[in-house]
Structures are given as structure tokens and as C-alpha cells.
Amino acid sequence: MNWYSISWWDLLLHGVSGTIVAFVAIALYRRMVEKRANGQISPGFLFLFILSFSALCGVLWEVYEFSCDQLFGTLMQENNTDTMTDLIAGLIGALIIALWTEIRSK
């Protein structure tokens, strides 16, 4: 459907996906860490965990796009600027949720 012709669409998707992945990171933290730590972990650790998890997922997605472009000749990545703006948009979305979570947990 040629969605990439809409310049802001790709950035919006990466920003929203960053927030969704941040919520997944919070759920993983609560399920796997919080109960075992008995409240001994600082809000700063949760902030870093959310941001790191989101960054990892963003990088893995960009590796997927690059791999598809190389193996199948698709055009998921246009250039380095596209890749970096995608990663930054995802991190901004995750940063908003990470800050919100840190403020709420203090």
C-alpha cells in the first residue's frame, strides 16, 4: 500500500512500538524480578532495564530489516538516516514510559 511514502508514518510506528516494548519490559520485570527482589531494586534499575530492553528490541528489528533487504531484495531500510531515526523514535517512546514508571515508583 506504499505506506513509506507518508514521511511521518514510519517514525510514528517506531515510536509506538517503543512504548509497547517498554510496557512488555515492565511486565517482564514484574513477573521475573520484582517478586524475588522483595522491593530491594531501585527505580533507576527499572528505568535502565526498560530503556535497554527497548533498545535491544529496536536493534533486533533493524537487523531483521537489513537481513530481509540483503537476502530478499526488499527495501525496508532506505539508508543509514532511516535506520538511526527509527532507533531514536523507538527510544523516545521507551524513554517516555521509563520516565513515567520511575516517577510512579518513587
Q: Which of 63, 88, 93 is nearest to 77 (CA)?
A: 63
Q: Does 2 reside within a domain?
A: no
Residue 1's pLDDT is: 64
Number of structural domains in the chain: 1
Domain span at residue 27 reads 8-105
**Torsion angle defined by CA atoms of residues 72, 19, 7 and 81, in that order, rounded to the nearest 10 degrees:** -60
Q: Record the pTM.
A: 0.88
> Grid coordinates in use for 1?
500500500
Q: Does 3 reside within a domain?
A: no
Q: What is the pLDDT confidence band of residue 106, given thresholds at 50, 70 and 90?
A: confident
For residue 7, pLDDT beyond 80? no
Q: Does 83 reside within a domain?
A: yes
Q: Does 1 reside within a domain?
A: no
For residue 76, pLDDT beyond 90? no
* Cα 42 versus chain centre, distance: 21
* Residues recorded for the chain: 106
pLDDT, tens digit, for every residue of 26-45? 999 999 888 788 778 888 99
Q: Does 77 reside within a domain?
A: yes
